[in-house]
Structure 1
Amino acid sequence: MRNYIEKLPLRDQGDSALFVLGAPDDQGKLATVYKSEKRNEMVKEGYRILGNSGDQWSDILGTSISMSIRPFKLPNPMYYIP
């Protein structure tokens, strides 16, 4: 996968969403560590994380700099990613 952050337009919004893909250097990292690092990078670039959702705890947990104002944990009984 290529490492990049892509701005995606939100329908009927004057804002954009971010889509993040991992680089080869990120392989082997725990999901919580990887996702926290990426959120921290976005916060340092000036983005505010207002909401964060996911079906894995690694989607919403992390360091204090990258914590969202409101996390949304979605149920998924099929699998768990540490």
Structure 2
Amino acid sequence: MRIHFEDHGQDFERWTLDEDGVVIDSFPFQNRLWCGCRVLWHTQLRVGDCLIYRTADGKQTHNIRYPIVKIEKTEAMS
């Protein structure tokens, strides 16, 4: 699954998630920061939502304040 965020000048515009909702790519920057984080309720997300994620160490939960503008299903999720 690829999630595209509304552009507010942030260093990431798109995340790619695996089938478990774990971020495996952050485009164009910040892979080191985001990869390994788990998006909660990723299968229920819709355009316009702001997602919630858990840090890679599982200790903290936060939200991304940039709304989702597009969701793409990837091959693994078909």
TM-score, normalisation: structure 1: 0.26
1 or 2, which has the higher helix percentage?
A: 1
Q: Highest CA radius of gyration, 1 or 2? A: 1
1 or 2, which has the higher strand percentage?
A: 2
Q: Which has the higher contact order (CA 8 A, sep 6+)?
A: 2
